[in-house]
Amino acid sequence: MKTYCALGLGNNFFYSLGTDSLPIPPNLLIEEEDEDGNDAGDICETDENGNKDANDDDEERPGTEVSLLPINPHASGQIINTNEDVRVYASASEWLQSHLSSRSATDQSSSTKYSTNIQPVVSCGATHTSFVLPKQNSTSTTPRSSSVAPATGEAHLVGTIFGRTYQNLTVQPTRLPLRIVSVSSGRRHVLALTEGASPGGGVVMSWGAGHFGQLGHGPDLTSCLEPRIVERLLPHVVGGNVIEIAAGGLHSMAIVASNSKNQKTFPTNGDTKDSIIVRETKAFAWGSNRKGQCGIEGGKCATV
């Protein structure tokens, strides 16, 4: 059975990696070198003659933090105390393996809070990270589904979004008896798609900052702290189910599979038993349109 983990890279100033993430020891991270033997990420200032600035060595530059993120809030395995872990590891791979399996001899589960047997769904914003993780005791946690499809369940968020900070992975309340199947993070907003009554699509929800209309709730609602249904994307309004969502920096998009019976079947390799069905789809966009990213003329589009 596969084991999944999440590695976060970058700055944790806005807690987008969380306070309980585990930084990989810097000595285990290998820096790439260019053809001249210099570090690829090392930028040196030179004078007109190409000589290196004498003060360049004295400058300290913040490096990229690489951390192991907790993605299994329901894990019963032993939580590792890194303050007591003084072992010197030979490689980052060895360090990861030691933190992805339980150290408890009585624990039959191989997972810790940093690992899971179900593939999580993740999306990164500018100051936050969003996940789809299975609910506790969910039927989607069976080995069969874990090896076939990504997790479905609840939307989780860590980091800062529209002035609210989540220092640890926190469930985002949807108040719907439907599981989340995908999330997409924009600069400071999030889209989530739930399962639907019919296969292939469901309800779209959004929350966070919406000053450019990227939430899709109309011009009068410029922010939302909790997930809210985008009513203009309900199946009976758009004539089909939303099957894909995408959040850009300041705009959003969704693809709808039409309920129309206008569909075509294309056989593969001349075999009608193994054919591809092509359905009619429509694309919807909303939010900032300053550079035409919504595909229409004019300014922002605050409504779907």
Residues 204-245: pLDDT tens digits?
999 999 999 999 998 889 899 999 999 999 988 998 899 999
Lowest mean pLDDT among 113-117, 172-176, 277-281, 288-292: 277-281
Supply the Cα-derived Rg of the chain in whole angstroms. Answer: 23
Find the length of the chain. 304
Phi–psi pair at 235, nearest 5 degrees: -55, -40
Amino acid residing at 260: S
The pLDDT value recorded for residue 89 is: 83
Task: Report the candidate in 167, 199, 178 with the shortest Cα–Cα distance to residue 279.
Answer: 199
pLDDT at 264 over 60: yes
For residue 78, the surrounding DSSP H or E stretch is none
Tokens of 274: 């193994």
pLDDT tens-digit readout, 63-114: 578 999 999 987 765 445 454 454 678 888 888 888 887 655 445 456 788 9
Instruction: In whole angstroms, give the CA distance from residue 7 to residue 114.
Output: 10
Percent of the chain whose predicted confidence (pLDDT) is above 90: 41
